[in-house]
Structure formats: structure tokens, C-alpha cells
Structure 1
Amino acid sequence: MIVPRFVLGGRGYTAPSDQLVVAGVGVGGKGESDIAAFAKTGKARIGYLCDVDTRRAAKSVQAFPQAKYYKDWREMLDKEGKNIDAVSVSTPDHNHAVVTLAAMQLGKHVYVQKPLTHDLHEARALTEAAKRYKVVTQMGNQGASNDGVRQLQEWYDAKIIGDVHTVYCWTDRPVWPQGIAWPTAKASTPAELDWDLWLGTAPYREYVDKLVPFNWRGWWDYGTGALGDMGCHLLEAPFRVLNLQYASAVQASVGSVYVDEFKRGYFPESCPPSSHVTLTFPKTNKTNGEVTVHWMDGGIQPERPDELGPNEVFGDGGNGILFVGKKGKMMASTYSADPRLLPTSRTQEVKVKQTLARVPGGANGHYGQWVEACLAGYGNKQVSSPFELAGPLTEALLMANLAIRGYDLQRPNVNGQGMTYPGRGVELLWDNNQMKVTNLDEVNRFVKREYRTGWHLG
């Protein structure tokens, strides 16, 4: 007599046919914790692992010994595509888009670490692809599933602080080297690392020590700086609460380093050590006019609100979000955690009706939410950070990077003596339909970078 396994297994057993088969691309570091979180739901099976570095992948290989391992994600999708339901992407930023779009074109649901993409063009392409291929999408900014952002939204919808016209977001990142020259010391490529595959879409360079696994974030060829690391966590709340979409203008100022006592360094290949960017967003259905969003990194912070006590922590100390409305202010920490009205005594005094459903598990529930939505099928369950929200959000932080990169653009003087910096002291105007800056054409080359020969999007 044949007895179904669920009878033998008892309650809580999930049949293999009811599990989401997930392939992880980039399974060290954050990718390792991502796939572990999917598996922890009991409704996802990690069937395939892909990483260019066997050292970084070792813990995931040990945790999922039945998963088949590949170094090249293209080979994995070619050979195993029919066996895969969904793909988790946690590579360095410069390879996010090519892996993600390839998976979507095969009809696979996708979970992509923040930032969604490296370039503005890529972000728009993935936003449109999500609608075209009708797959479940989620960006890995887990704060989007936190209770905090929903509390902020309920306060705002209840008009507790009035119409918001200004928002400040700040971070103490970077915590990796930025504003430096490309290393000149030669280093041997580790035997476990396929350097050519790691480079992927980026221009070819010889391997340099300590770039992998973390310090790539500070180089424009691979990373997106502090904005790419923390922007999706901090800007998500203003986007959701105010229904922001695409910025219309952006301006920036950046910090610099000194190479000696009298000379500032000029290192355009590297993200700057600090920056302050101002983004202008058009009026939305939840604001009475334009919204100005200030981004600050490298330890720069906005002026403390008068309503905040002298010994009260601003944000969470190193990071934070501040909404300035016509009737009051509210703030939160990283991942929209610990939302507070100002003065903070109002947080417990003001009561508003809960109108928004919470995600079970909050930020940690971000993973299970995606798994459940994938199993339910496209359009049947909500996720917190689908590409329709994550795409425009990513475009905003990449527009901020556009202004940062424009700040360091050099142009020879008309007399041939010295250089000028045409991106400094100007506001870049953005044509959203054409996806181009209309008043400084030199920065448009950063909207869509040229991939290395042999690599393409789609």
C-alpha cells in the first residue's frame, strides 16, 4: 500500500511539488543569508547555486549539499532553466541587470538585491520587463516590509504633519575606501575566483587585492557608492508615503580628499568620500506641490530639528529619515524602523486608525512574502518592493549618482590652459521620457554604460 508522504510526515509537511525551486546567483555574503531566509520558510527549496568564487560560496554549498553548483549563471540557466521556478540575484551591482533580465525572459520570478541596477537605463528596462513577462519581482530592501513605513504612511494619510514639502535622508556610509586612486600594486588572482566572470559587464582590468568581496562598492565600474548601499533602505519611505515617482531635477556637491598638503585629489573612477544631493520631485496625488529630497552621506547630517531634545538621538545616530510637513515633522531610522513624531512625546499621544496590513515578520518577512507570492502566481499576492516601485526608486538614487559623477566632469578651458568643471554649481534637468539630462550632455554617458564585448542586456 502506497501512503502519501504528507501522511507520514504529519502536519507542516510541504510536498516538493508545492515548493518554490530557487536558484541563487551570488551565494556568498548577503546572497548566503537571502537563500537561507527563503529556505527557512519551508516553502522554498534551494535547488541551484551559482557563484564565481568558491571561497565565498562555501557556506551555502555546505548548507545546501543537494543543490547543483555552477560558476557561470548563463550555463546554469541554459541547462537548468526548465527546473527552476525563481532566481535570487546577489552579485555586485554591475551584473544585477543582465542576470535578472535573462531570468525574467525565461519566465522566472526574481528577487534582486539592492540597488536594483547599476545604471538608469537598466532600471527602466527591468521595470518595463516586469510588466511584459508577468513574473513576481522583489528588490531586497527589506525595510519595505517593516511596520515602520506603514506607520509613517498612516500618520501622513491622517494629515498629522500636514503636507510634506521636504525630506532628508542621511547615512554614515561609506565604510569602504572611496575617493582614492586605482591601486597600482599587482596581485595574483585567487585560484578559487573566476575573475573574468566576476568582471562580467565591466571593462577588463587586472585583478587587484581587496577589491573582492566588499571594496568594489567604491568604484563606479562595479558599485554605486553609499547611495547604492543605503539609498534603497532610506529613500523607500518617502517614495511609499508620498507616492514619488521620477525626479525632474538634481544637483550635488561632494567632498574631496587631499593628496598632499596643498592639492586636492581628482579620482573620477572612484565614488567620493561624501556628498550632498538635492532631488526635486513633481507634485503627486499625495502632495500639494513639488517635494525636495535631500540625500547626505559620508557622515553629513541635516540640522537637528528644533522639536528634538538635545540628548535625543537623531534618526539612529548614523542614518535616518526626516519628513518636514507644514504642520509637523516625523522621522525614522534605517529600514524605516522606530518611526517617531516630533516632538517624540507625540508618538504615544497621537492615535490613528491602522489602515494598512502589516507583513508577517516585518523586515524578516520580506523573503517569505516573495516566496508566497511566487507560489500564488503573478498578480495574486502583493509584495512590498515590486519593480514597479523599486525601479523608479532605484532611478532616483542613480539620478543622484548622475549629479555626483557630473560634479567631477572635466572640460578643457577654451584657451587650452587648465580645466573647468561644467557640472559644478548647476542643476541638472531631467527629461524622463527621453531619459536624458537636457542641459549638460556630458553626463548622459552615465545613463547607459557600454558593456564589455560579449555581454548584453536581454
Structure 2
Amino acid sequence: MSQTNQPTDAPHQPTRRKFLQTGALAASSFLIVPRHVLGKGFIAPSDKLNIAGVGIAGKGFSDTNNAFNNGANNMVALCDIDWSARTKTNFDKHPKAAKYKDFRQMLDKEGKNIDAVTVSTADHSHAVVAMAAMQLGKHVYVQKPLTHNIHEARMLTEGARKHKVVTQMGNQGASNPDQNKMAEWYDKGQIGTVHTVHLWTNRPVWPQGFNAPKTEAAAPADIDWDTWIGPATPVGYSPLYHPFKWRGWWNFGAGALGDIGCHIMDMPFRVLGLSSPTDVECSTGTVYEKDWVANYVPEGCPPSSQVQMTFPATAKNKAPIKMTWADGGIRPFRPEQLPLDAPMGGDDGGVIMIGDKGIIVCGLYGMSAKLYTKGSGSTFSLTAEQSTPQNKTMPEWGHQVLWTEACKAGFNSKEHKALTSSFDFSGPLTESVLMGNLAIRSYNLRSGKSEGRNFDYPGRKKLLWDGKNMKITNFDEANQFVSRQYRDGWKLA
């Protein structure tokens, strides 16, 4: 962010974070008592990370407290624009943590004492908070989707490398061991070359597909609405935006695809070694307000959508892949090779990867993964499966804890390289997820003059994507959705 200054630590006054990264504390043995002297299970103060949380209710509560890890680290600052009962539980859990409504003030006043920051705000402010923290040399954990738009994802990926900070996106299923099993099945050639991938979700599970509120309400006294708006186009407060319902509005959220796509697309992206798609096209559901009058909502995400992308052949998969996404209650049809009694993912979403020798099916987060391979007939048979029950509430798999340990080890450490969703991986993944949103937002862009009910909708054609330059090459109007218009003072730099 443009308001954020670079760190000005003098060479003879290294920060605590630099000590943790370089191991200088260990060298100063007269300052540190080895943990084996203090007793088994004791964590020396020097081994604790100083963490700040931005967005601390809902998912932010689990993000901050999984990183806190029962006192293995210090929670030194908590920031949320909403100081209502939603945040009280977290404030009460960490009474010594400094409390803020504006993350910029928190970084300015507490920055020298912060090593790492969790970002669990609404999608539209992920990038500005994370970039401000990284520019100060802070490690960052950012909820999925990593960013609100493609350009921001590219900037955060490059920013993490530039500032040499440890990063992780909050798609915790990436740390699910079942994904290793799916990769093993694929790497052994058990499903052959993949040509088709189906992804789907039951989202949205919030109101979506209707017009923006025409009237605004007074923001509750305990909410800093202007800071919540951040880089977005200013609108008045409405309970249809905050809390949680912001996901259904393009100004703040990324719809069903943005909400869950980084969880579900993660598996084929990782297993098949995918990169940027070459094209994208979609169709979206429509709400009719009255007979023959479609309700096209430019401010809001559609009630349902279907997106198809083409990914080129990779070093791992020697053929192009057609990947289809569906949301809003739409599911893929059963592949003819899959037995009629075979489960297709779960009620809340799933993945099907179809190869010329077999099929892998799994649910959300990679749960209940199953392998079907080709036999003598036309139908594949069950060969192997993971035991994780689809409907069991899954733990976080230490996703945040692994990040904190990598923060202590440093940017070039094996711990950082072993993270399952650092920005080097999750940045390109997020770009691909948000390509679907670019198509969805372009779908109802029209040109030409009306002839009765007939219009030309170029956005409904296949859009060709130049991933390196982040540009649609055959419909320039769609490129407005690669980035966004930023409010004064909030543009990423």
C-alpha cells in the first residue's frame, strides 16, 4: 500500500524478526537458556512468534488461535473494524493483546514488535493488508481466496519474493494428507493421462443474485465502516453486506467460486501440476423479477454459474485438460465409466479427475478420496480409497501451525519450502480461480443496438487468456475485471 513506509531499522539494532530468521539469538547463548535446561515441553520466549491478527471473528478466530497454538506463540495485537460481540471472544482470550480497528494504525504503532500477521478480512481488503505487512517485513497468512482479483494475486506473489517473507494461504485442505495419496495414485500412472476435471460446490449458502440495497442504514457505533470499505467503491452500511453476506457482492467478495474454488481446484492444480489456463467461458443463472424481464445484477454475483477452462499440457500431464466448475446447486453428470453406486464427492462439493486409465473422486478438502481403474469392461472399478469420512468435521491439519514454524525458520528454510500453500503456489492457483470470475462478470456485457430482445454479448463467447501479461486477447472489455478501481489512498504499490 502506498501509505506504508519501508522499515527503517538501523544496522546495529536488528529487529526481533531478523534474530529469529538468522539464528542470532542462538549464537547469543548468554541471553538464551536452552529449552532442554528449562525442562521438557517448556518453550523459551525466544522461540515464540509475535503474531497480530487482522479480522478476528468467524474464520479469523480459528486462524489467529491456531497460529497462537495454545501459547506456543504470542498474540500481541488484534484488529477488527467490528468491536461487537462477534470479536469479544477473541479479545477476552487475549487480554494483553493491543486492540485496533484500523490495521494501518496497528502496523504503525506495533510494527516493531510484530513478526507475523494473519489476514482474515473480507476478500476486498486481503491484498492491501497483506501487502502493507509484507512491506514491513512481516510474514503473512491470508485467507482464501488470496485476493479479490487477478492483478492483486500476481502482486502478492511477487511481493512475497521481493520482501523475503514466509507466506501461506488459508486453504487448509492443502495440508490434508489425503492429497498426498491422490498424488501418489496419479504419479504411479494409475489413472493415466487426465483429459477432464469436474469441480462443484453447494455454495452460495448466503443470499445472492439480487439487486443491491437501495437504502442505507446507520452503521452500528462499534463498527468502523469507512475502514471496512477500504479499497472498495464506497457504499452505505447495510446488514446485507456485513457480516458474512459481503461474499455475494463483487465490490467486496468473489462469490461462490472465490469462496470455495481455492479449496476444490487446489487438488487437480497440485496433483496435475497445472499453471495458467489458456481460455475460459461460462454461463450463469438468471433471476426473473417479472415476466420476460431478467434481473441482471452488475453489483452482485449470480445465483448459479458454470465455468469451463482449458489448461495446456504440463510436464506431469501430457495432454490439455478441460476443467468445468459448477455452483448454485448444479452438479456434473456421472461419468459413464463410474459405477452407478459410486459416490460422487460430497453434498457440499467435490472433484472428479478423469484419465484414460482411471478416475479419482474426492470431496471437499480431499476427503473420502477414491480411485477407480480400468478393468476388462467399460466401467472402472474401485481400486483404493482413503478412510477419511466425508461428513466428519475435519481439523485444520496444522495448516497455520506449519506456517508459524516456517516463520521461525525463515524465508529460505526447508520448512518454508515444505509449506503446502505458500504464495508461490497459491498465487497462481488464485489467478486461475479468479479467471472464472472474470468470465462470470463479463457474461452480461453487451454491445450493439437492440433488435427486439436480441443483443450481442461478446462476453458469452470463449475468452482467450494471455497469462503472462494478464490479459484477455479477444474481448478487451473483459480486462476491466483483471484489476479494480481503487479508492483514493488505497491503491497497491
Shorter chain as denominator, the TM-score bin is over 0.9
Deviation at 1:7, TM superposition (A): 8.3
Q: Matches of residues 368-447 of structure 1 in structure 2 within 5 Å?
A: 368-380=401-413, 381=415, 382-413=418-449, 420-447=455-482
2:404 alignment partner AA? V
State the alpha-carbon separation in 2 of the partners of residues 326 and 307 from structure 1: 10
Query: Structure 2-normalised TM-score?
Result: 0.86
2:152 alignment partner AA? E
1:292 maps to 2:322: yes
1:19 maps to 2:54: no
Deviation at 1:117, TM superposition (A): 0.3
Partner SS state of residue 346, structure 1? strand
Deviation at 1:433, TM superposition (A): 2.3
State the alpha-carbon separation in 2 of the partners of residues 153 and 249 from structure 1: 25
- Aligned equivalent of 2:74, options 42, 45, 52: 45
Instruction: Give the 3 Å change call, closer, same or farther, for CA 419–311 of structure 1 in structure 2.
Output: same
Deviation at 1:75, TM superposition (A): 0.8
Match of 2:218 in 1: 188
- Aligned equivalent of 1:366, options 381, 386, 399: 399
CA contact (8 A) 1:147 1:337 kept: no
Instruction: Give the 3 Å change call, closer, same or farther, for CA 62–199 of structure 1 in structure 2.
Output: same
State the alpha-carbon separation in 2 of the partners of residues 443 and 378 from structure 1: 36
Instruction: Give the 3 Å change call, closer, same or farther, for CA 338–413 of structure 1 in structure 2.
Output: same
State the alpha-carbon separation in 1 of the partners of residues 230 and 218 from structure 2: 19
Return 169-178 or 298-307, whichever deviates more. Answer: 298-307
CA contact (8 A) 2:207 2:245 kept: yes
Report runs of 4+ in structure 1 exceeding 3 Å deviation: 2-10, 306-312
Match of 1:177 in 2: 207
Instruction: Give the 3 Å change call, closer, same or farther, for CA 39–420 of structure 1 in structure 2.
Output: same
CA contact (8 A) 1:330 1:340 kept: yes
Deviation at 1:344, TM superposition (A): 6.2
CA contact (8 A) 1:95 1:200 kept: yes
1:31 maps to 2:60: yes
CA contact (8 A) 2:283 2:305 kept: yes
State the alpha-carbon separation in 2 of the partners of residues 384 and 157 from structure 1: 18
State the alpha-carbon separation in 2 of the partners of residues 118 and 58 from structure 1: 27
Deviation at 1:60, TM superposition (A): 0.8
CA contact (8 A) 2:459 2:478 kept: no
CA RMSD of aligned residues (A): 2.1
Q: Which runs of 5+ in 1 are unaligned?
A: 350-360
Match of 2:268 in 1: 238
2:195 alignment partner AA? H
Identity of aligned residues (%): 49
State the alpha-carbon separation in 1 of the partners of residues 403 and 32 from structure 2: 32
State the alpha-carbon separation in 1 of the partners of residues 398 and 61 from structure 2: 17
Deviation at 1:421, TM superposition (A): 4.4
- How many residues are matched? 445
State the alpha-carbon separation in 2 of the partners of residues 4 and 137 from structure 1: 29
CA contact (8 A) 1:167 1:292 kept: yes
Q: Which runs of 5+ in 2 are unaligned?
A: 1-30, 373-379, 387-393
CA contact (8 A) 2:369 2:385 kept: no
State the alpha-carbon separation in 2 of the partners of residues 153 and 9 from structure 1: 42
CA contact (8 A) 2:446 2:459 kept: no
1:320 maps to 2:353: no
Partner SS state of residue 100, structure 1? helix
- Aligned equivalent of 1:63, options 74, 93, 100: 93
Match of 1:219 in 2: 249
Query: Structure 1-normalised TM-score?
Result: 0.93
Match of 1:346 in 2: 383
